[in-house]
Structure 1
Amino acid sequence: MVSLTELSSTLGPHLASVSGRRLTQRQLTGVHVSELEDPTPYLEGGELLLTTGMPLGGTAAATAEYVARLRNKGIPALGIGLGPWLEQVPEYLLSACSEAGIDLLTVPDGVPFQNVSRAFWGLSVKSSQAGLMGSLGTQTSLAQAAMRPDATSAVVRGLAQALGGWAAYLPAGPDTAVCWPESAEAYLPQLRAETIRLNRTGTHTAATFEIHGQAVVEYSIVATGRIQGFLAVGPGRTLTAADRQVILTVCTLLALKAKQREVVAGATSALGSAVAKLVLHGHTEAARILAEDLGLQDLPRRVRVLALSVRPGDDAEMLIRAAGSLSPDAGLPALPQQLASCLLRHEEEAALYLVLPEETAPQEQDSPDGGVPENHPRLAGALSEPVSLGEVAGVMPALRRALRQAPAGSLAGTGGPHNQQAREWIDTLARYRRADLVGTVAEYLRHRGHWENASRSLGVHRNSLRHRIGIAGSLLGVDLDDPDVFAPLWLELRHYERAADGS
């Protein structure tokens, strides 16, 4: 975790407490940028919220309501970017934050918010690495050996040579087994069958069995409370106390290696989740900047979003493996084999979302033991239409609705009976001749109801935009801010625009 004081010290004058007030030793869960009047639906609590001051409303009353919403959401700190909107921090904002127990900081004019985000994630990665090395303690020298690129192969080969027999390491996940000598590969099918049995029983000790009349000893490799894999040895002779010590040393090395991989995977997963969350909530440019700064994969231009139902206690990796067994609705593509390697995944509101490249070729998805995808009795899924990265937020309401309505065992699409209604709405708007209501509503929805941005994009006054949206709502007899209205309408408007452009 990264504390607010640590982040402020790192950035110095680029993130300073207002009036030099002493900051609290609070731990931050992230850095979020928002200009919404109510950003709390997109916050989890614990974040440093950055804003230019646009949503404060310019009055003490509006500011007090804004700060109260942040306090109720558990936001510990607010950063104000000084510039065109606010040249200095208003006294009523300082007073409201003081009463709410929220630390107030400033970002000077000209300092990008991305500098704050980059500093936070840099400190977060260093914190994870420091935690890993601290937990290893006196095993530092062994950890260094286990962190070598060929560490697993090296220790397996060394063990086999020390025992004068063969050895094999079978990871519990989808990674490839390692064995020495190569002739031991013939034992892998029987070893996999035995490891599956041991994994199901949760055995955390050693087991002995026979393969072709030869005694085999198998040890579970445990790290962070879970079985990470199994070490199998065929010594070809009775094990001595010295042999057992060598085996225990190898088990330690493999456990350290597994723990290192889990820490790295956890950090990578957290970073990928942060990027995915930004994409899902419409902050595309921030997602691109964060992905680039963290060295993650280039974000695809067009994507589909896969949503999987999640219940308390469900394991995300298990759900992803089971997704291949879902029966897709007519017209939906098969899910790609690369689901497990997707870094852009984020879990919220009882759903796991994966942002997948549109061009990913559908393939048959196998489970780690080489069989068919495993089933999950309660799992349901929904897959969005292909959209550009900047349009993802617009399809999320329809995707959530499709997931709620999808029966267990099925993969639903975002199309449905609402689409016909949406087409009729567009026809009604197109028949209106005094103004371009189709274009007006499209820009309004594209900017998610933000009057200033939509009016600027259209080149009209905000009051003119309000008037047109009022006419559109009256003609259609609906509320354009209702998710059940704007989600299918937005999707059909995108099809309408592409058809109009001839694309």
Structure 2
Amino acid sequence: MLRLPVLVAGLPEVVSGEGHLSSPVRWVHVTELLDPASFLEGGELILTTGMPHPEDPTLLRAYVDQLADIGAAGLVIELGRRYQQVPADLVHACRSRDLPLIVLHREVRFIDVTQTVHALLLDAQGELLRRAQRVQDTFRALTLRRAEPGEIVEAAAELTGCPVILENLVHHAVHCAPAGRPIGQVLSAWPRRSYGTPTPDHTAPSGPEEWLVAPLEHGGSRWGRLVMLPDENDPVIGPEHVMVLEHAATALTLTRLSGRTRWDRAAHETALRDLIERRHRTATEARTRAESLGLPVTGHRLIALLIRAGSSAPREGFGDALAARLAGAGIRALVGGLRPGVVGVLIALARASAWQPTAERVGRFAREELGEDAVVAVGPGVTDLDQVARSFADAEQVLEAVRPGRSDRPFHVTSDIGLPELLYAIRADVRVQRYVDRRLGRLIEHDERHDGDLVATLRHYLAEAGNKSAAAKRSGLSRQAFYHRLRTIERLLGHDLESGPQRTELHVAIMALEAVTERSTADGDGRAAPAS
């Protein structure tokens, strides 16, 4: 107001209350009454010529006390009519109550001041109402189209230009919209800062950094909170910030009540994908994001696991159940679905502790929940988030190589991958299928045409490392019958089964056939269709 031309013309001088010049002015009143508090509500700026002011210092102090007690924004006195200079008692009284006192050294038309200021106030209120409508429309639209929580948080950040964070009850930053700031800066030391910021009963500034905090609750039960960090350039929290955060909190609560969103799992899934796909701009950003979700990094060994459901689809809520099981055991982890049928887990363990017991725990739980054909693959432990992507890549290779239901081990690592597993992993490669067809095609066709079992005979022979007697016994055939079949095999394939190199080629072909037929359609009697 003091910068408005209508007041600048009066040569205003601030003689007390300099620290409160940023206080908002709700209205302007011109009054010469000595008891104005009876019609004030707080936030008004009082204009007076001082004509009725008493000479008695006690009455002057009582007048100032009334204004300060009601919360008046300040007192403006125009010199010339009553005073040539402001009484020292009035200045002293205003200073004792820290009430802004402004002296106008030239006359101004008070009507011009009130008209100008009230027009500005009404325009501002109208704009605030228009912005309030836009904010309401924005969050209503997000709610109606069932937007994800991250979209609602992003909208709140865009509307205010301030970072907004959605937290769960254990102060994990489930979603963060940094509003253009580096996310590493926004979430730096997040658990410590968050725990040091109490949650008020209603939307209000809180904590040493004056965060604006909105509790998230329904039916009297609190399930999280929404936090807005002040703007670095303009840290003042205004009514518009409160309005936006409250609308966002309502939208989030309605989204949660719809039952669609798995809050923690969605945040963990995003964090895991960001690490696997190396989306973070800096190592600090990656570490800060992980720690804000409760995963310690510094001084810990990180273990990447992939869980495949096998023949049955993972039951609803498997990730939540696994996360709860790990948390109950005091194990810090990120758990989230990475693609249909596959759940990813990143576990943080003290570097000196063994990782195998935790992997066994996950493997046993996966088999209990997903069936015996569930597979758990473990990547090598790493000590840096930059290495997590490589660890998950190694676990992916193990996952691709292990056949469902073919092992009773609770988990698998890269050292478990032998030739059969390697062939299984690349079974879809056309070159593998062609190799099988070149080496075994005639034998497979003969079995199909004559309803024979020469492929099984060759498999038994190779499995016994060329020991014909043991292979015959394994096949349940007499030696003569078994030898006759071997000669038929040699004739059809044009191979010498006594040759070590040729036997090796056929053995590889047999193992590749088993891998290839895993993905082929079985015929009526259970034998797999030949590869082509």
TM-score above 0.5, yes or no? no
TM-score, normalising length: structure 2 = 0.27
Highest Rg: 1 or 2?
Answer: 2
